Amino acid sequence: MNHLLVLPILLPLFTGAFLLLFNEKASSHKRVCSTAATLLLLPLSAWLIAVAGQGQFLTYALGDWPAPFGIVLVLDRLSALMVMITAVLASAAMIYAIRGDDARGRNFHALFQFQIAGLNGAFLTGDLFNLYVFFEILLIASYALLLHGSGRERTSAGLHYVLLNLLGSSLFLIAVGTLYGLLGTLNMADLARRITQVNPVDAPLIAAAGGLLLLVFALKAALLPLYFWLPRAYAGATAPVAALFAVMTKMGVYSILRVYTLLFGPEAGELAQLAPPLLWPLALATLALGSVGALAAKQLQELVAYLVLVSVGLLLAGLSLGRTESIAACLYYLIHTTWITGGLFLLSDLLARQRGDTGSALVAGPPLNAPLLLSGLFFFGAVSIAGLPPLSGFLGKVLILRSATLPEARWLWPVLLLSSLGLIIALSRAGSTVFWRTQAVEPTHRKVDGWRVFAVAFLMSGSVILVVIAKPLTRYLDQAAEQMMSPGAYIEAVLQETPP
Amino acid sequence: MELLFAITLGVLTTSGLYLMLRGRTFPVVLGITLITYAVNLFLFAMGRLITGAPTIIGPDRDYTDPLPQALVLTAIVISFAMTAFVLVLSIKALSELGNDHVDGADR
Amino acid sequence: MLLALIVALPLLGSLLPVLLDRRGRRLPAFAAALPAAIALLTLLSFTREMQAEQTIIVSYPWLESLGLNLSLRLDGLSFLFALLILGIGLLVILYSRYYLSTEEAMGRFYAYLLVFMSAMLGIVLSENLLLMLVFWEMTSLSSFLLISFWSHRSDSRRGARLALTFTAGGGLALLAGVLLLGHIAGSFELSQVLVSGSTIIQHPLYPLMLILILLGAFTKSAQFPFHFWLPHAMAAPTPVSAYLHSATMVKAGIFLLARLYPTIAGTDWWFYIVSLTGLTTLLLGSAMALFQHDLKGLLAYSTISHLGLITLLFGLDTDMSSVAAIFHTINHATFKASLFMAAGIIDHETGTRDLRRLSGLKRFLPHTALLAIVASLSMAGVPLLNGFLSKEMFLSETLNQGLLGRFNWIIPAVSTLANLLTMAYSVRFIHQTFFGEAPKDLPKHPHEPPFYMRLPVQILVLLCVVVGLFPGQTVSELLAMAARASLGRPLPEYSLEIWHGFNLPLLLSLIALVGGTLVYFFLSRPLFRLYEKLPDAEARDVFEGTMQCLVRSAVWFTDRLENGSLQRYLALMLLGVLLITGSALWRLETWTGPVALTPLDPLTSLGLLVLMAAAIMVALSHRHRLQAIIMSSVAGLMVAMLFARFSAPDLSLTQLSVEVVTAVLLVLALFFLPWHTPRESTALRRLRDLALAGGGGALVSVLTYAVLTRPYESISPFFLDNSLPGGGGRNVVNVILVDFRGFDTLGEISVLAITGVAIYAMLEGVTLPRPEKGLGGYSWVRDRHPLMLRVVSTLILPLALLVSVFIFMRGHNLPGGGFIAGLITTAALILQYIASGLRWTTARLPLDFRRLAGFGLLTAGITGLVAPLFGKPFLTSAFTHVEIPLIGDIELASAMLFDLGVYLTVVGSSLLILANLALNGRPQDKERI
């Protein structure tokens, strides 16, 4: 029983609660406390990766009640990876935020910590209802963070986001209820085991519940036609929040991957192929429409929001291929895209700060104070996210392309490659407008904040690191994908402690 | 009984969803309240409808399924929180956007 | 290892010029030349192996599952190209030192140039095709940066984007093609791919793969119809044009054709696509070159035409034609690079590149004039110069093919015509620039450039002459080894002689030379007039127009799709729900399961009917909002009663207290919101919504009914069995909440606390309008706090608090617990607020609710943290029985402490929510709650 496993949830949760004991201002003490708690997640997640990398499943039975009766946390390669991605992203967002953005609204730090607690809880839990609870935690925190800093656009986009998700939560409960009403359990491993033994007459009911879950997760992941809320919401959010939200859609992707490999995995009989036929066309359409949106974007932050959609489309398309290689490829791409879009969100804010009233609008603006540094960062991020070599985006793209076989490749390849071309056009237009088509006025004297640049560079450097460590990383991911594709071991590991 | 119960939930859901599809925030919130009722009852009913068997441990008694009750309790509290949030948000939207349309604009 | 050094040196060295940027001009140039020179020396150290026709392969396995290995290859072909890249690269570095002005960011320029050099070397030295692709796209990127070097100029920016779009787009096609090729060949290693020719050609995917690869090659090498980008890339500084856009990068496509020749050539597909593309490009380029007024524009189209010529040679698909192609690649690199540099000198010295303004420059720039004239004559294919040799080979090859059957004559005819035009524009270039009267009103007064700026041109022109005169002694060995490496088999017999006797190719050559001169001197006027009548379609404008059109349609489409209407989004989501679940439930054989239905009892039925009626009433009366609130409260009460009816007293209590708080909240909210809902939706819309809502309702009904009539086997007996012995409580629901699933509860009170904080944060800066009139237009009651209510509430408060303590205490064993107790406390306090006013109550109850919520959350959490101290998991509970005199047996359970945390959080959060909202309506009360 290793208590470190529960820390990624408790550390931010307690920090958040602790921060409530003080006033709502972003004081330096709170900043130190919140930043320390966030940065501590880095070594913690590194430890999780190291443990999970050995190939065992680590379980943690909360309240000492064995699965399936109590709630268990389960660490496998996938969940460790997701916690790590979140920790890195959150650290950068936090470093960026404490340079002033946190003071734009009340209680930023507490909300930020609760958001992380929700994310980590959702990644680690092995219980479906507990997943619902953590979804609610991360949602309510995200509602508040989205509105952080107020403003008309934020409020109106936030309202849509909240209302859609409220309906989503109701659907989640209906799905959980149906599964419990038929199978009598909530533990995901136990559910998976019971689904394999389900009476075929009742299978359509289980399928309906599975469909509802898919819909809920697709809403989180922002899949067509459930993504329309995203561009406005993300474009309106405060930069560190938008950056942190880069992992929110991945939360949906993660849930789809988890539920549809475990509950409706290869051993679920006729319920096994529930998701792919639905996901596949919608994911491809999301990929295509995301790049169309990127071409249409009128603001840099909006453009990045569409990049999030592109990545979701590609990830879900890749996952619906349903092969071990494609899952591994998608996981690689997932790390890359989360960090780089997060970094680009921060970067577009950094640019907007320099451009005065022009903000991040894609029109000619005043010249920048540090053009080389900023354009260099943008060029780097754009190359990476457009999937051009030699950065991680290219590797991720090639991995996914390679993992597709006929007949799916016939669709995936053209859509993906054309969408890449669309992104190249969109990003080169945006970059040349922002950096080169400048008005003939004096550059603003607003200095570029060094720590903010560091936060951006920290995330962007991930693109190089992912290439450098590609060999061990892909091995880890291959094994993670194998774990996903053979859920038997997971089920055994979670349920072995069941008393006879 | 089960049939009537199921129909009742259907009616609750229908009313709630219909209200949710309206254009102003307040009916939408009411709709959410109704949907919440329906969902909570649904979740509750997953422990089956048994009368006179509360789950207080005592000698020689029948018990209903306690787990859904615990889940519903959690769900009630969470949905209360969400309803409160969205209510306040709609007031904020009214004050910032000038009207109570869900899109923040009269169409 | 040494091979990797050749590629890596320029890349690593690219940092040097940037670091030395501020130290004058000589140092950055030197720093740039150094890594290139070392790389060149390293390359030359392989000369002996190359002469021995060895192929050197170094391989570092990397991502084997992907097939991407860091493997490099040096053979004759890559040796030749690497030699060109490094050799001309060094000359360009020298030239640039004098070309760029002092104000320009020379360090950055050299850095880009070196990155490009490294990428280009990577392409030619890659053994792994995926690795080659990496470098391929890197050349596109560095070319983008170099073209846009003068980024303040609009033509640079547009030219750069145009080039990037074409070449990177082609790169994507190439990526697909290479992946297919690797898939077919089973490996991405060239040594494997090159021997799988027959498998590849017979594979059903071959045509697709070929087209994709050729798309990559043709976009890079500016072949028709992808040639548009090259003339606009001339917005780059001239050294870049000389290096990237004539000598090296555009040859990457050619290199690819040469490299993959043994595996993908030799089919009709190859012949028709490659040769016809090359032929078209050849003719088009040479024709367009004639009409350019910009010196660099002329050279750019000439480059296109020569690239077409080389492509055509590969397309002709004979061993000899490949030799000729490689030979012409060498020659073109030398004469065209020198011509570009000369053009750069002219531009640099006169301030213009417009042929119509230039004339008689030989007076001012005699050396440069001589060099440029020699180079252009070589370009035109005049004997005794290197261009003549490869052109002769080319013409004889066009005569030797026979695949077009009856139309065989087309290829030599068109080729001769193109040569004729080449002669014409070469003569035009020479004549208009250097001869004629002295130029008038040039922006600058021209004089000879510094010696070292001319030196690179001199070296290249010297090469043209020497190769032209003594081909056998100079280039033949290099050519032979490159051609052999490209073909992968022994070369045919050929001789690099100037004189082959009178034959047909020579005749065609003569026709071209004489005809071209005549055309320039006698026909150029009418031709130009004709050209000016042609519709003027500037490629860049067309591209920009296309792009803008693309963006406009993307905007239009996205606006239609995301019209910002929540109603549409929700409807779509509901539709999704119905489709997904509907299609699943369609397969359900029977709705009714095997479990028998319980009989209807009148009381419950009545309750259900009232609930239904209330729900319908809410929907019907939603325009009259207060009424709707009342109806929804009725529904809530009925839900509570149903809970009670079906053995859930805890739920019933919770629902009741939540209902009270919610009702207060709704009314409070309504205070700020409009009292009525306007009628907005059309009847059709309402019908649609009703259908969707009805579908959703039906879904819930079916699911409920179907599940309730089916048996299930729950994990619940465990809870019933363990509640008392394991959890120390008789109320199983409560034990589940605080013990079995305490983690859920911790999460749930977190949600509550976050909501309180979120609402608090959200209301910052919001001032809510306080309506003047209430419902029905009546004024508010003056007596805000009626005496009766005040008295009653003050009486009730202690009572209610007592009740909540009672409910809390017994929660573990009987219905009750922290939640319910917390909500009852909340309700009582709210009553106090309503009755006595916010200020009065706050003064007497100085509680910071946010702090209370945080404290409650921490209490619950820390209770859970005790267990890990004893080596048990988080939230493990413990309980003991204590015998207290007089009172008797008291059970003390850690779970109760947890429940206390729940209680505190519930009170704190609910009041935080309500008080904030209430406070906000009262701008005069700014004190903090």
Domain ranges in chain A?
A: 277-488
ipTM of the complex: 0.95
Query: What is C630-646 written as a DSSP string?
Result: HHHHHHHHHHHHHHHHT
Q: What is the mean pLDDT of chain C?
A: 87
Give the residues across from C58 on adjacent strands. C72
Distance CA C465, CA C383 (A): 10
- Token readout for C91 is 């000359």
Q: Are residues C781 and C907 in the same domain?
A: yes
Query: pLDDT tens across C832-845, in order?
Result: 877 777 667 777 77
Distance CA C764, CA C759 (A): 9
Which of A130, A135, A165, A173 is the best mutation test for B, with the most CBs of B within 10 A? Answer: A173
Residue C151 contacts A where some CB pair is shorter than 8 Å: yes
Confidence of residue C925 (pLDDT cuts 50, 70, 90): very low
| Chain position carrying tokens 């009360």 | C925
Query: What is A42-107 written as a DSSP string?
Result: HHHHHHHHHHHHTT--EEEEGGGPPTTTS-EEEE-HHHHHHHHHHHHHHHHHHHHHTTTGGGGSTT
The dihedral over CA atoms of C821, C823, C824, C827, expressed in degrees to the nearest 10, equals: 160
**B70: distance to nearest CA of chain A, Å?**
11
Q: Are residues C303 and C410 in the same domain?
A: yes
pLDDT at C590 (0 to 100) = 85
Q: Which residue has the higher pLDDT, C494 or C6?
A: C6
The partner residue sitting opposite B89, judged by closest CB among A129, A162, A174, is A162
The answer to whether residues A434 and A324 touch, using CB atoms and an 8 Å cutoff, is no
* Chain A residue with the nearest C-alpha to that of C863: A63
* Chain A residue with the nearest C-alpha to that of B93: A155
**C624: distance to nearest CA of chain B, Å?**
10
Contact A178 C160 (CB under 8 A): no
**A39: distance to nearest CA of chain B, Å?**
30
The answer to whether residues C309 and C394 touch, using CB atoms and an 8 Å cutoff, is yes
SS percent in chain A: helix, strand, coil, step 5: 75, 5, 20
Which of B40, B50, B83, B87 is the best mutation test for C, with the most CBs of C within 10 A? Answer: B87
Residue A429 contacts B where some CB pair is shorter than 8 Å: no
Segment C630-651 mean pLDDT: 92
Q: Are residues C512 and C647 in the same domain?
A: no
Is residue C885 included in any domain, yes or no? yes
Query: pLDDT tens across C154-188, in order?
Result: 889 989 999 999 999 999 999 999 999 999 998 99
| Chain position carrying tokens 């929804």 | C632
Residue C762 contacts B where some CB pair is shorter than 8 Å: yes
The partner residue sitting opposite A167, judged by closest CB among C133, C570, C708, is C570
pLDDT at C888 (0 to 100) = 63
The partner residue sitting opposite B65, judged by closest CB among C598, C636, C716, is C716
The partner residue sitting opposite B68, judged by closest CB among A152, A163, A180, is A180
- Length reported for chain A: 500
pLDDT at C83 (0 to 100) = 94
Q: Return contacts of C800-805, CB within 8 angstroms, 24+ apart.
A: C800/C824, C800/C825, C800/C827, C800/C828, C800/C831, C801/C825, C801/C828, C804/C828, C804/C903
Segment C664-674 mean pLDDT: 85
> Residues near A345 by Cβ (< 8 Å), separated by ≥ 6?
A234, A239, A242, A243, A246, A301, A304
Tell me: pLDDT of B106 over 70. Answer: no
Query: pLDDT tens across C213-269, in order?
Result: 999 999 999 998 898 899 999 999 999 999 988 888 999 999 999 999 989 988 889
Distance CA A144, CA A106 (A): 10
Which of C567, C575, C591, C647 is the best mutation test for B, with the most CBs of B within 10 A? Answer: C647
> Which domain-ending residue is among C680, C697, C721?
C680
Distance CA C515, CA C17 (A): 49
pLDDT at C923 (0 to 100) = 43
Contact A166 B97 (CB under 8 A): no
Query: What is C7-42 written as a DSSP string?
Result: HHHHHHHTHHHHHTTTSTTHHHHHHHHHHHHHHHHH
Confidence of residue C770 (pLDDT cuts 50, 70, 90): low
B22 interaction partners in chain C (CB closer than 8 Å): 567, 622, 677, 681, 689
pLDDT at C926 (0 to 100) = 38
Tell me: pLDDT of C920 over 70. Answer: no
How many CB pairs (< 8 A) connect A and B? 79
Q: Which residue has the higher pLDDT, A252 or B50?
A: A252
The C-alpha angle with vertex C776 and arms to C772 and C782, in degrees rounded to 5, equals 50
Q: Is C115 exposed, middle or buried (0-12, 13-18, 19+ CB in 10 A)?
A: buried
The answer to whether residues A125 and A134 touch, using CB atoms and an 8 Å cutoff, is yes
pLDDT at C924 (0 to 100) = 41
Residue C15 contacts A where some CB pair is shorter than 8 Å: no
Contact A147 B89 (CB under 8 A): yes
pLDDT at B60 (0 to 100) = 66
Expressed as residue numbers, the domain containing C485 is 294-517
Query: pLDDT tens across B8-37, in order?
Result: 999 999 999 999 999 889 999 999 999 999
Chains touching chain C through at least 3 C-beta pairs below 8 angstroms are: A, B
Is residue C189 included in any domain, yes or no? no
Query: pLDDT tens across C64-120, in order?
Result: 888 899 999 999 999 999 999 999 999 999 999 989 887 788 889 999 999 999 999
> C71 — phi, psi (to 5°)?
-115, 140
Q: In this structure, what DSSP letter does residue C126 have?
A: B
**B100: distance to nearest CA of chain A, Å?**
10
Is residue C505 included in any domain, yes or no? yes
B107 interaction partners in chain C (CB closer than 8 Å): 565, 680
**Cα dist from C445 to C97, C452, C455, C673, whole Å:** 21, 20, 22, 78
Distance CA C214, CA C225 (A): 12
pLDDT at C927 (0 to 100) = 38
Which of B35, B41, B44, B83 is the best mutation test for A, with the most CBs of A within 10 A? Answer: B35
| Chain position carrying tokens 């804010």 | A349
Q: Are residues C475 and C613 in the same domain?
A: no
Distance CA C87, CA C760 (A): 69
Residue A169 contacts B where some CB pair is shorter than 8 Å: yes
- Token readout for A182 is 């038929």
Amino acid at the residue A291 = S
Work out the end-to-end distance of chain B between its first and last CA atoms, rounded to an integer number of angstroms.
Answer: 45
Amino acid at the residue A475 = R
Reference A167, options C700, C574, B104, C662; nearest CA is: C574
What 3-state class would DSSP assign to A196? helix
Tell me: pLDDT of C794 over 80. Answer: no
Q: Please tell me the total count of domains within chain C.
A: 3
A residues 352-411 lying closer than 8 A (beta carbon) to C: 372, 379, 383, 388-390, 394-395, 398-399, 401-402
How would you label C385-400 residue by residue, b for 16+ Cβ within 10 Å and e otherwise? Answer: bbbbbbbbbbbbbbbe
For the beta carbon of residue C513, count every other beta carbon within 10 angstroms.
22
The answer to whether residues B48 and C724 touch, using CB atoms and an 8 Å cutoff, is no
Q: Which residues of chain A have pLDDT under 70?
A: 1, 24, 26, 150, 443-445, 497-500
Residue A219 contacts C where some CB pair is shorter than 8 Å: yes
> A60 — phi, psi (to 5°)?
-140, 110
Domain ranges in chain B?
A: 2-50+64-97
- pTM, two decimal places: 0.93
Query: pLDDT tens across C617-635, in order?
Result: 999 888 888 889 999 999 9
> Which domain-ending residue is among C644, C665, C680?
C680
**Cα dist from C490 to A68, C53, C278, C482, C493, whole Å:** 73, 11, 26, 11, 9
Distance CA C460, CA C344 (A): 15
Contact A215 C580 (CB under 8 A): yes
Amino acid at the residue C7 = V
Tell me: pLDDT of C724 over 90. Answer: no
Interaxial angle between packed helices B2-20 and C602-620, expressed in degrees from 0 to 180 and rounded to the nearest 10: 10
Contact A62 C742 (CB under 8 A): yes
Which of C141, C145, C158, C172 is the best mutation test for A, with the most CBs of A within 10 A? Answer: C172
